[in-house]
Amino acid sequence: MRRLLARSARLLHRFRHAAAGVAAVEFALVLAAMMPMFFGLSEVVLAVNTNRKLVLTSRTLADLSSRTKTITTSDMSDIFGAATVIMQPFDASKLKMVVSQMYVTQVGTSTTYNGTVDWTCAKGPGSAVKPAGTYAVPNGFKADKSYYILVETSLPFTPIFGKTITGTINLAQAVSWPIRDSGGKVTRSGSCPS
């Protein structure tokens, strides 16, 4: 027993003063912490870039839709087509786009304004036109008997590494845009493109 205790004490003393392999152990500990951070930051950067492209797409859809007095089926088709180009290099095959012209009315003499859908077009898998109803009017567009363009876009984002943790995240944008033509209204001619 004494011999076993002496041997154990010598091994413990050697272990305490040994320096070989310390760097490997430290590297393993640091790597275990750094790898998730690296992959997590990669996912965040990809999500932010995708969302930035979605914002640019929404603003461009609104700007192009507000530039003319009359918008035809062909015009709307071209505008929706431009969105897929703007989204590059990201996949726009699942991009949902809804372009609507909203009509603003003042409620009595109050400071409350309601927006109703004047016309609306949708494009993308599973997208639907904006339903009829009363909607809140954003600040800056509260003027009785006026119009503005509202663009709503959404795109599912599936992380490459973290899809088991977060699943698919739905990125969505809503952009309100003033009518650029002096007439203050865009008239839709024809039907929405399919």
Q: Tens digit of pLDDT for each residue in 9-35?
A: 887 777 777 667 777 778 888 888 888
* 67 occurs within a structural domain: yes
Number of domains the chain contains: 1
Separation between Cα atoms, residue 74 and residue 70, nearest integer Å: 11
* 13 occurs within a structural domain: no
* 61 occurs within a structural domain: yes
Q: Which domain holds residue 36?
A: 21-189
pLDDT in tens, the chain (194 residues): 788 888 888 877 777 776 677 777 788 888 888 888 887 788 888 889 999 999 999 999 999 999 889 999 999 999 999 988 999 999 899 999 999 999 999 998 788 999 999 999 999 999 999 999 999 999 999 999 999 999 999 999 988 877 677 788 999 999 999 998 767 899 999 888 88
* 14 occurs within a structural domain: no
pTM exceeding the 0.85 threshold for the entire prediction: no
* 10 occurs within a structural domain: no
Cis amide prior to 89 (ω within 30 degrees): yes
Separation between Cα atoms, residue 79 and residue 2, nearest integer Å: 88
* 75 occurs within a structural domain: yes
* 9 occurs within a structural domain: no
Residue the block writes with tokens 């859809």: 61
C-alpha dihedral sign at 102, 103, 108, 111: positive
Phi, psi for residue 83 in degrees, rounded to 5:
-65, -40
* 5 occurs within a structural domain: no
